[in-house]
Amino acid sequence: MELKHLAIRELLKEADEETAKISDKGGIMDTDNSMIHNLFESLLNAFERRSSLTHGSFNQENEEGYPFISSFEKFLVNEEAPENFEQLVEAGMSQLAAAIAAPSARSATGGYVIFAVYGSDRADYLLAALVRDRSSIALNDSLQPTEVIEVNLEQLHQAARINITTFKQGKDSYLSFIGSKQKGEITHYFSTAFGCTDVTPSRKSTGELIKAAKDFCSQHDLGEKKEEIVEDVVSYLERQRSEKQTANLNDIENLFDAYIPPEQAETMAGTFGTFANGGPYNVSHEFQPHTSTINRFSKLKAKADNWQLDFTKKALGPAQSGKDIEFDEASGTLTLKRLPSKVLDQIRATLEEENG
């Protein structure tokens, strides 16, 4: 990874305070400094270990309400200029101070905010993260224990990463962000400050989840169980939707783990969440199941001049499959089996009317 810019600033706020202040300390750091590189690597590793990422894009319909967005676009005009990066950092800190002081984030506390622009052969990124310090123990020259304060880079309280390359290409989901696992709007102040309110649409997360389920089965020797597993995933989404509940990758991961053979459990158990949350699927850790997308995967609807079909796909199979609805490719016919008594009565009554 090439580290292009890095800045460290401090956001001052205690829990339940109504205001937040930006410290005069810190600023742009020397990226040639080995300690700065070590700090950046630790920060990046901590971010990439997080599996509960939410993906999305800027709320560009309301850029005036989120000044960071326009500041980011101005930065892209000349990414190499340190002064452009410094202006971007100042805009970010200003928005953070306003967001963390909002009533919904009143109990949140400040910390050190690290901004880093870096890149590889595949993409360039902007990463912004909030970290705090912790006390530790060291030995002085006389080998006496002494307390030291160190930055806790292992625990990210809030973070947002913008895929600069994807943003320039005009694609969706160029944004990934994390928050604490607490419930409530306090977890969203960091992403809100940067205009990261347009998270992955439920339609996209729903569709990509089902695609990830199929690919995971194919890549992990679960091909024979793929149809059954995908049906379970779709059923889970339908159940969550009908109960007006969100879908959660942890729940779906547990569903997958139940199908993993014991001999593969050590390497495969607990991995589906990370698989679906990462690229190319970028399924949000939690999302609302999308009705029409679920129906597209779970139901088959067809219509002709004199009839129409509407049934669940799991009821369909080829001839001699034993499914309730069988399709014979050779004759081009569809056979309905095990018709309920009520349906049979309706058919008989209709035929009697036609023949009477």
* C-alpha torsion sign, points 103, 104, 109, 111: negative
Q: 249 near 286, Cβ under 8 Å?
A: yes
Query: Is 195 in the same domain as 280?
Result: no
Q: Tell me whether residue 103 is in a domain.
A: yes
The CA distances from residue 141 to 135, 146, 149, in Å, are 19, 10, 17
Query: Is 286 in the same domain as 332?
Result: no
What is the phi-psi region of residue 26: left when phi exceeds 0, alpha when psi lies from -120 to 50, beta otherwise? left
Query: Is 65 in the same domain as 189?
Result: yes
Query: Is 258 in the same domain as 309?
Result: no
Q: Tell me whether residue 188 is in a domain.
A: yes
The CA distances from residue 262 to 31, 135, 148, 267, 268, in Å, are 48, 42, 46, 10, 10
Residue 174's pLDDT is: 85
34-87 pLDDT, tens digit per residue, is 999 999 999 998 888 775 677 778 877 777 778 899 999 999 999 999 999 999
Mean pLDDT of 150-170: 85
* C-alpha torsion sign, points 155, 160, 165, 170: positive
CA dihedral 39, 45, 51, 53 (to 10 degrees): 50
* pLDDT at residue 227 tops 90: no
Q: Tell me whether residue 329 is in a domain.
A: yes
Instruction: Using pLDDT thresholds of 50, 70 and 90, give the confidence band for residue 154.
Output: confident
Residue 196's pLDDT is: 78
305-324 pLDDT, tens digit per residue, is 888 888 777 778 888 888 88
* pLDDT at residue 163 tops 50: yes
Of 61-70, 245-254, 295-304, the range with the highest mean pLDDT is: 245-254
Which domain range does residue 285 map to? 202-294
Mean pLDDT of 242-252: 86
Query: Is 52 in the same domain as 126?
Result: yes
Last residue within a domain, chosen from 260, 294, 328:
294
Q: Tell me whether residue 264 is in a domain.
A: yes
Q: Tell me whether residue 102 is in a domain.
A: yes
Mean pLDDT of 163-189: 72
Q: Which structure tokens are listed for 7? A: 């800045």
Q: Tell me whether residue 33 is in a domain.
A: yes
Query: Is 238 in the same domain as 313?
Result: no
Domain count, the chain: 3
Query: Is 193 in the same domain as 211?
Result: no
Q: Over pLDDT 70: what percentage of the chain? A: 95
pTM above 0.85, yes or no: no
Q: Tell me whether residue 299 is in a domain.
A: no
Q: Tell me whether residue 248 is in a domain.
A: yes
Residue 246's pLDDT is: 80
Query: Is 156 in the same domain as 213?
Result: no
Burial of 229 (0-12, 13-18, 19+ CB in 10 A): buried
119-143 pLDDT, tens digit per residue, is 988 899 999 999 988 777 888 788 8
Q: 198 near 56, Cβ under 8 Å?
A: yes
* pLDDT at residue 200 tops 60: yes
Helix axes 82-100, 67-75, angle to 10 degrees: 170
In whole numbers, what is the pLDDT of the chain averaged over residues?
85
Last residue within a domain, chosen from 161, 179, 199:
199
Query: Is 91 in the same domain as 175?
Result: yes
Query: Is 52 in the same domain as 179?
Result: yes
Q: Which structure tokens are listed for 155? A: 């625990």
**Which of 78-87, 168-177, 183-192, 308-317 is predicted least confidently?**
183-192
Rg (alpha carbons) of the chain, rounded to whole number: 27
* pLDDT at residue 91 tops 90: yes
Last residue within a domain, chosen from 276, 294, 312:
294
Query: Is 335 in the same domain as 289?
Result: no
Query: Is 116 in the same domain as 169?
Result: yes
